[in-house]
Every structure is written in C-alpha cells, then in structure tokens.
Structure 1
Amino acid sequence: MKRAIIIGASSGIGREVSKILLAEGWNIGIAARREDKLLEIKELNPGMVEVCAMDVTKRDAPGKLLDLVGRMGGVNLFIYCSGVGHQNPRLDLDTELSTVDVNVFGFTQMVDTMFNYMADNLGGDIAVISSIAGTKGLGAAPCYSASKAYQNNYIQALEQLSNMRHLHIRFTDIRPGFVDTPLLSGSGHYPMLMDKKYVARQIVKAVKAHRHVKIIDWRYSIMVFFWRLIPRRVWRKMNVTNKKI
C-alpha cells in the first residue's frame, strides 16, 4: 500500500500535493497547525486520510509525527512543505528568528525524525520543498535565503549519510522559484510567478523519478545557472528585490 505524510498540507503547495496523491490512490497523513483546513481534505476522502494538528517548531512535534505514522500503519513517502519566508531589509530580529524556528529548527527535527524512522523500517523517500533562494545570499531576505541554503546542504548530507550506512532512503530536494501561494500574498509583485497546481504536479513527478535535485521550472533553472556564475564581488553590489524597500 502506498502511504505518504505531507507536513504543511493545510494550504498552498502542500495542499495541492495532497490532492494529487489522493487522486492516485495514496493513503495520506496530513499535518499542519490549522486542523480545520486539514479536516476539509479528510471530509472528501475519509477512508484515505489521517489528520494531525502540529506546530513543527514545538518540542512535541516529533512525537506527534511518529503517532501519525503509527495510525497510518507505516509510511513510504515523506514530503516536507512547511516553511516561512519574508523580505526583511530592515533586519527585524523577531522576523529573522521566527524564520529560523520554522525553516531550520522545525525542518531539522521533522526530517531527522523521519530519517530515523525509515532507517529502522526498510527505507523510503524523503522530499523537501526548499527554494532557489538557497543558491545565493539575498540581501532583501537574509534569513530566508540562508535557511534554504541550510536545507539544501542538510539534505545533501543526509543523502550521503544514508549511503554511508547502507540505508534505502532516497531524497529529493525540490527548489521552486516564486509560487502563487498565501506565503507571498500582499508582499509585492513577483516575476515568473508559478501556479501552485503546476508546481505540485512537478513535485510529484520529480519524486516518482527519484530526482536528487529538481528546480521548478526551466526559466528558474536558467536563472540559477547564471546566478552561480556571478562573482561575489559583483553579487554583493547588486540590488535583488521584487519591490522598493
């Protein structure tokens, strides 16, 4: 039986991925802070969905994740969609630290919990929705870009660790550009904005193909290619933002 858990399924990309997996016959466990939004999905597919209200920044989140796994009878696929992102050119400390809480601390304890579970239970697939923002340090969003770089490198390290320990855990690092989700609502104009349903389809396709890294879509692949070629002395003088600050 195909079983998947999606963290951050109450809205945006996570919600769309959940819908796709349900349509393909997966049994899913969905988790987020807003239980009412999760129950909306369960009501449409009551026999195929388990729900867990969870805040990934809390210390009880790993236990809740393992309880969800137990209620499902195991899991083959884990998708981490939870995240926050803010432009913060004034470097408000609370904004930076709240980003660390979700994108670094929450991410780490959730992914590590699932890695250890899969290490003890014949492996599986772990996919993380990170971002192309991890490619370079973005002055308009310091902690967001840094936290995404952390996620990129952490997944790469766990992939190596899985091979070192001869485990059957596969990883997919999903790196989208701007996606039309509530995360970006009201925060300015974004170029090359992608539809969340399109992005969700690309995510599922990449996971099935066992892609190690997937940049969505081709326009962002080209942009990232050229970003990597820009020397540090040039990059630090550039104004990379989507609006006046």
Structure 2
Amino acid sequence: MTKKVIIIGATSGIGKSLAKYYAQHEYEVGITGRRSGLLTEIARELPDSKFFAAEMDVAQAQSAIEILNDLVEKMGGVDIIVINAGVGFPKANLEQELQTVDVNARGFLALAHWSYQHFKLKGKGKLVGISSVAAVRSSPYSPEYHATKAFMASYLEGLRLRSKKWKDGVDVIEIRPGYVDTDMTKGQKGMFWVATPEKAAKQIFKAVDANKSVAYITRRYRLIGLLVSILPEWLLAKVL
C-alpha cells in the first residue's frame, strides 16, 4: 500500500525539498502553503508523482484545521503529518512578534492537536514538528522566535509522553534544524555549518523513518544544542 505524507508549509526551503524527497520515495504527498502558485510548481517539477495541494494560512488556526481535515479526506488518509510552517523576523516589531506567535505557536498547536487526535483514533501515525536549535535557549536578537520554538519543543514532548503513557500509538517527532540555506536565513551574518535544503530533507526523512524522538539537522548541531544549554546566562549574552 502506498504511504502518504502531508507537508504543512511546503512552498520553499526545507518544506519544498522534503515534499520532493518523499515523492521521489514513492509517497503520495499533500502540500500546503499560502502561495498556491508555488505549490503548483512543485507538482510540475515531478510530473510522475502524486501531489495533493491546498492553500493554507497557518495563522488562521480554525481555517487551517478545516483545510487539513479536507486534505486528509481527499487523500484517503495519511500516515505522516509534518508541520513545517513558520515565520521569523530580524529585529521584529510588536506586530511581527505577534505574527510569529500566531504562526509558530498558536497555529502550530491547532494543527498538532488535530493531527494527534486523528492518529489516535486511527491507532497509529507519525506527527512531526519542525522546530529549531533555537528551542534550546533564547536570544537577544529574536526572543519571540526562540520562545515559540521552545513552545513547540515542549508541546511535542508532552504529546510524546501522552502517547507513551496511554498507548495512543502516535509517534511524535521533533526536528531541530540549525542553519539551512533558505529565504529565512538569507543575509544573516555569522552562520556556520549551513546545510542545503536537500541535505536537510534527506536527514529529516531518515530521522522520521527511524522514529527519532528529537533529531538535530544536521546531526552535528546536537553539539551546539548541548553547548548552549549549559552556558551560564552572563556568558551566553557575551557570545551571542
């Protein structure tokens, strides 16, 4: 039986590369994003693959849930749901900080909750959230972004514990990318160990297939996560 995956936030970067990678591995792929034209382009790039596209604004939580539900029905079910949609702004103003919360926290929670309940009723399935190494500690530059990624990490851990405690059958996986060459990272200074979206997609695919609870992308970023987790705040303020 053909396996099915939905990538929420697939118009560019990691999401786009991950959608294409799954398609190349003979999955039926559902893709969502705010720009329908870009979703159509993905399907055109792989004409022999089966794509289902749906326009979605994750900031509109209730609407996003309805669209996800419709997409699952259209596909005849789903085995993996990857929540990749996210935003971030350099030196954000208040409006941008609130937008970050709406997408990365509120919208994410709504979709993760629906996905978990769907897989619980089914008795199996994989819920994947793309957070960030930024989930480990905060930053003086974009505290709202780090805060929402920490929220994602904590919420996913809670769902993972829930599934294990009550044997719900849902595999909950958190992916923590470091620097990946995407539109969000363009122009940032001081980046290192920058991965291509294609390399990130390959490692994410393997981590999901192996049911990793938490996976750093690329894997060497686990060292960065460990380092920043143990630094005292006074030193962190100096080195960032």
Q: TM-score range by the shorter chain?
A: over 0.9
Letter of the 2:64 counterpart: A
Deviations 1:8-31 (A, max 9, x none): 111110100111111111001111
Deviations 1:159-212 (A, max 9, x none): 111123321100111101111001122344522221111011000010001100
8 Å contact kept, 2:97–2:144: yes
Deviations 1:41-74 (A, max 9, x none): 2233376111100101112110110000000000
Distance 1:112 1:145, change over 3 A: same
The answer as to 2:73 corresponding to 1:70 is yes
The residue correspondences of 1:1-245 to structure 2 (distance < 5 A) are: 1-43=2-44, 44-45=46-47, 48-58=50-60, 59-88=62-91, 92-235=93-236, 237-240=237-240
Unpaired runs of 5+ residues, structure 2, are none
Matching residue of 1:243: none
Deviations 1:130-182 (A, max 9, x none): 10011111111110111110011000000111123321100111101111001
CA apart distance, 1:104: 0.4
Q: Secondary structure at the match of 1:183?
A: coil
CA RMSD of aligned residues (A): 1.5
Structure 2 distance, partners of 1:149, 1:159, is 15
Structure 2 distance, partners of 1:229, 1:19, is 37
8 Å contact kept, 2:5–2:29: yes
Letter of the 2:229 counterpart: R
Q: Secondary structure at the match of 2:211?
A: coil
Structure 2 distance, partners of 1:207, 1:65, is 20
Deviations 1:79-117 (A, max 9, x none): 1111112232xx621121111011001111111111111
Q: Secondary structure at the match of 2:238?
A: coil
Q: Secondary structure at the match of 2:30?
A: strand
After superposing the two structures, state which structure 1 stretch, 179-188 or 4-13, moved more. 179-188
Q: Secondary structure at the match of 2:215?
A: strand
Letter of the 1:49 counterpart: F
Q: Secondary structure at the match of 1:182?
A: coil
Q: Secondary structure at the match of 2:42?
A: helix
CA apart distance, 1:228: 1.5
8 Å contact kept, 2:24–2:49: no
Structure 1 distance, partners of 2:183, 2:222, is 24
Size of the aligned set, in residue pairs, is 237
